[in-house]
Structure 1
Amino acid sequence: MLDRAYLPADDSTPLVEITVGDLLRQRAGEHPDRLALIGTRHGSGVELRLTYAELLAEAERVATGLSRLAAPGSFVALWAPNVVEWPMIQYGAALAGVTLVALNPVLRQAELEYALRHSRATVLLHADSSRTYDMATVAKQLGEQIPELTVLSLSETDRWRPAEPDPAVLAAAPTDPAAPVMLQYTSGTTGRPKGVLLRHRSLVNVAKLTMEAIDVEAGAVGLNPLPMFHTASCVIGTLGPLWIGGTEILIEQFDPVGVLDAMRRENVTVLFYVPAVLGALLEVQRSSTEPAPRLRTVLGGASNVSPTMIEAAERVFGAAVINLFGQTELAPVLTATRPTDSRSDQLQTVGHPLPQVDVKIVDPATGEVVPLDTPGEICARGYQQLIEYLHDPQATAATVDAEGFVHTGDLGTMDSRGYIRLTGRLKELIIRKGENIAPAEIESCLAELEFVIDAAVVGIPDETLGELVAAVVRVRGAEPADLRERLIAHCRERLSPYKLPARWFVTTDFPLTPTQKVQKFKLVQSITEGELRELV
């Protein structure tokens, strides 16, 4: 039992020292004829179903093509939605020894230009379009503005995926698991995005330890509707199935009806989710005449997952709902609930840290480790942490302390067993009359109400109190005439008076980051500019 909020690493579960490419080679050797990947082709939308042997062959062809376009150790950018070429290029880049720059397909020209110039990418592989966005035109214009950049459409397969692999390239594939393999850009909601540089070892072992911790069965069929440019998708949703020798079904554009149909048709047992995705699936299934698909594991997180949503998913899909917590800088999983956890732990915590990582919770003001069950900033040190923020030593030094711990910016408590409860974001703390108020606690309270789909709590400036607590809700069905009174009554029963929101607003949609987190600064802006409807 712990006597303070510091949990040493559990080293009883070993790490594996292999690269992403070597892991694919292992699985192809073990299960050559097993279905590895289902997805849609770029341009045509035709479904492609690849066995492990076929996926490795595709990756080796990609590695050959990339080796002719970029030097080992250089940066190759991929700007595309969830087409089947995405994981093929991910594996091919790993075999070629280049660092893949994962880019959000909705980036506008200035945002894309920033990422390409900042990363110093020498190659840009791009989709021609995503939904109605003309990506080809944007990519062409940037190619003219950045002469050192080779710009290739995914349609130009002969240039980046030749017909035959080069044995010399494959023989020279990297073997050092400490080498960089991927660059991920943060959401950039409070400033310029930072480039998070990650190792082979980090990605492979996060996938391994996450799948092992939650006991996902070998060979499971997993459905991945999450955007591939983010680690939740390209690590947990892609390397996770690879670790267990399973099948990844990659969804190009999320549509809850289509996803539910695919889950039934393909006998899916594992669903990767963020709350917005899971909530949409539950809403559609609620009104569907089709039977709900039966799952074994629903796996995800990215923000506080309400007990109401967890219980609904268990009831509808018959699955164990696993709540993960982490961030891109941790590749991305730090903690997970387990199927064997108590009911309270499953509903109220983000679980216990994965093996091989030290975790501490510190006072943000002093940096000292706090007592048990005391809120503070969650910090972690281990194999999965970022190498650095690329070209930004100041940001790296501000995030990684002198003892090597990554400061996550997330607030939480640790109990004597090492289980962690989230209490909010350091930058989101509302300070009202000197009292620190964590929005996550109020949001969880509001999520208990059946008619509340989503809730977000923010602080808005007030001359007298410093900040006022404001709540924005999205409601299900017809809005009750006494909505404000019902919200207040519910919170008053469960929260201290100083935490009770002073102002209440209703919206039909929240502004979201690409990883489906609410952009609270935009909510504050909408409130101050009178754009949201206030309940009075």
Structure 2
Amino acid sequence: MVDARPHVTLPYSYCYGRSELGLSYIRLADLLSNRVQTDANKPAFVSEYENISKTYGELNDDVNRLAKGLIDLGLNRGDVVGLWSCNSYYWSQIQYACARLGLIQCSINPAYQADELNYVLRNAQVKALFMPGVGSKQQEFNKFGHGTTGKPKGAYLSHFTLGNLGICAFPMEMIVANYKYNVKLIVEAMNKHECTYLYGTPTMIIDILNYVETTGNTLPTLKGLVTGGSPVPKEMAYRVLKIIPNCTDVRVAYGATEAGSAGTISYQSDTLVNRLETVGHPLDHMETKIVDPGTGKTVLIGETGELLSRGHNQMIGYWRNEKSTQAAIDDKMWYKSGDLATMDEHGFIKIIGRTKELIIRGGENIYPREVEELLHKHPDILDAYVCGVPDVRLGEEVCAWIQLKDPNKKLTEAEIREFCKQRITYFKVPRYVLFVDSFPLTPAGKVKKFVMREQSCRILGLNEK
């Protein structure tokens, strides 16, 4: 019998996700077909705002009808089909229809404006574009993800990658509350349909917790949630247990579009501290190591370095962008995440921050995540993010963006600095504090730090150059 616990090669920060189960070599469309054979009458999808409810059998019938329509359009295997949409039943329908015909689905950020959309359509060579609601290594996804830096790159994913992430692995009912993000409608839909599990970014979870706490709503059927997509404050994770006590299975995941959207997570049986204060350990059959960004050598347990991963989750590459692909994946097929992390002797990983977000103030390294974690401990702060801004003398300074629980609360920059001075080294204390109502987010709920930096410079009158 195989030891199912992750294997760590001590004393180095390398971990492999061992498993008794093998990997699946099957197309997404076949996963759906197989599910229909056993669970045709079980609910698969509910779209509250569209007033749609579908069983697996009905979803499969809709997929077959759409696939026939795509054939009638003259689309052939390998052609690219664009999908420019927020949450919708038709999103899933299009996904499976493309998979069934061997078409490449290109998911496009629904927030894109005309010039951005034009760039993606041309770069991805889209043959047909769907806009629902809008006025083996067979290629499956060309996903222009909700990135947080610069020009979008299409991560080229396979059926093999997505099929082994558990899509259609067991029957479950997916609930879509509304076309665009609205916390009130999400909570109402969760209660109406007695949702048991929730997946969301930290920003979304914070909004839900704040809404539940201030309105007196409860989520009595919620058993667990998985959060990730951006740094998860420890205080937020523990707050879930306080505000929604029946939600006991809380876990933090880590991943990237380039890594199939998921790379690490803890087990339900892991300790509370490891489930809430780490991003877990590598998924089954995945390898993860922490390396020195300068030398590329694997660091010792507990040391900080860049997180690299390798395995079935990995993208084929960036669509029509060999230069970026070579920069992201080395000659031994390790994906370089750009995230700074540590690993303990059991393979549990903590994310420290982004290599590109590291603030260097007068020669001192400052990890924004550390300052953000501290700010979340302030009783009046709902959410907080930190970025570096230019400084003539020191090179960079720390700038904190803060969203208060009560917008009418009067809190000063001096009070925030004093709170920090008592708890962290002087050079990590924010030089600038901006009180905001919201943060620049991608549609997936990730904070765009580069936009924060640009806007901070403009607000504070700082010269980026």
TM-score over 0.5 (shorter chain): yes
Secondary structure of 2:288 counterpart: strand
**Residue 433 (structure 1) aligned with residue 437 (structure 2):** no
| Correspondence for 2:66 among 31, 39, 62 | 62
**Separation of aligned partners in 1, 2:130 and 2:398:** 45
Letter in 2 for 1:25: S
TM-score when normalising by structure 1 = 0.80
2:152 maps to 193
**Residue 509 (structure 1) aligned with residue 435 (structure 2):** no
TM-score when normalising by structure 2 = 0.92
| Correspondence for 1:285 among 203, 212, 215 | 212
1:263–1:186 Cα change, 3 Å:
closer
Letter in 1 for 2:94: I
Please state how far the C-alpha of 1:254 moved relative to its aligned partner. 2.5
Please state how far the C-alpha of 1:442 moved relative to its aligned partner. 0.8
**Separation of aligned partners in 1, 2:70 and 2:50:** 24
**Residue 493 (structure 1) aligned with residue 418 (structure 2):** no
Gaps of at least 5 residues in structure 1 are 130-134, 136-176, 209-238
**Residue 13 (structure 1) aligned with residue 18 (structure 2):** no
Identity %: 31
2:105 maps to 100
Letter in 2 for 1:278: I
Matches within 5 A, 1:62-461: 62-69=66-73, 70-127=75-132, 129=134, 135=135, 177-206=136-165, 208=166, 239=167, 242-251=168-177, 252-317=179-244, 318-319=246-247, 320-461=249-390
Is residue 281–residue 347 contact of structure 2 (8 Å, CA) maintained in 1?
A: yes
Please state how far the C-alpha of 1:204 moved relative to its aligned partner. 1.4
1:481–1:316 Cα change, 3 Å:
closer
**Separation of aligned partners in 2, 1:82 and 1:253:** 7
Higher helix share: 1
**Separation of aligned partners in 1, 2:356 and 2:413:** 27
Secondary structure of 2:253 counterpart: strand
**Separation of aligned partners in 2, 1:259 and 1:530:** 34
**Separation of aligned partners in 1, 2:402 and 2:33:** 48
**Separation of aligned partners in 1, 2:147 and 2:407:** 35
Letter in 1 for 2:59: L
1:458–1:291 Cα change, 3 Å:
closer
Please state how far the C-alpha of 1:396 moved relative to its aligned partner. 0.4
1:150 maps to none
**Separation of aligned partners in 1, 2:94 and 2:280:** 33
| Correspondence for 1:25 among 17, 23, 33 | 33
Letter in 1 for 2:207: A
Q: How many residues align?
A: 449
2:4 maps to none
Q: Which moved more, 1:509-518 or 1:417-426?
A: 509-518
Let me know the Cα RMSD of the aligned residues.
1.8
Secondary structure of 2:57 counterpart: helix
**Separation of aligned partners in 2, 1:485 and 1:243:** 53
| Correspondence for 1:51 among 49, 55, 65 | 55
**Separation of aligned partners in 2, 1:12 and 1:492:** 50
Letter in 2 for 1:190: T
Q: Which moved more, 1:387-396 or 1:469-478?
A: 469-478
Please state how far the C-alpha of 1:271 moved relative to its aligned partner. 0.9
Q: C-alpha deviations, 1:471-507, integer Å up to 9, x for none?
A: 1211111565454344234323332222222222211
Q: C-alpha deviations, 1:165-184, integer Å up to 9, x for none?
A: xxxxxxxxxxxx31011111
2:5 maps to none
Secondary structure of 2:174 counterpart: strand
**Separation of aligned partners in 1, 2:120 and 2:283:** 31
**Separation of aligned partners in 1, 2:437 and 2:217:** 27
**Separation of aligned partners in 2, 1:531 and 1:445:** 23
Q: C-alpha deviations, 1:410-435, integer Å up to 9, x for none?
A: 11111111111011011100011222
**Separation of aligned partners in 2, 1:188 and 1:27:** 32
Secondary structure of 2:155 counterpart: strand
Q: C-alpha deviations, 1:338-375, integer Å up to 9, x for none?
A: 33222321232111111111111111111111111111
**Separation of aligned partners in 2, 1:355 and 1:8:** 8
Please state how far the C-alpha of 1:527 moved relative to its aligned partner. 2.2
Is residue 306–residue 448 contact of structure 1 (8 Å, CA) maintained in 2?
A: no
Please state how far the C-alpha of 1:188 moved relative to its aligned partner. 4.9
Is residue 306–residue 347 contact of structure 1 (8 Å, CA) maintained in 2?
A: no
**Separation of aligned partners in 1, 2:224 and 2:216:** 23
Letter in 1 for 2:396: E
Q: Which moved more, 1:291-300 or 1:110-119?
A: 291-300
Is residue 260–residue 293 contact of structure 1 (8 Å, CA) maintained in 2?
A: no
Gaps of at least 5 residues in structure 2 are 1-7
Is residue 292–residue 316 contact of structure 1 (8 Å, CA) maintained in 2?
A: no
Is residue 254–residue 279 contact of structure 2 (8 Å, CA) maintained in 1?
A: yes
Q: C-alpha deviations, 1:280-314, integer Å up to 9, x for none?
A: 11111112244333311111211111122112222
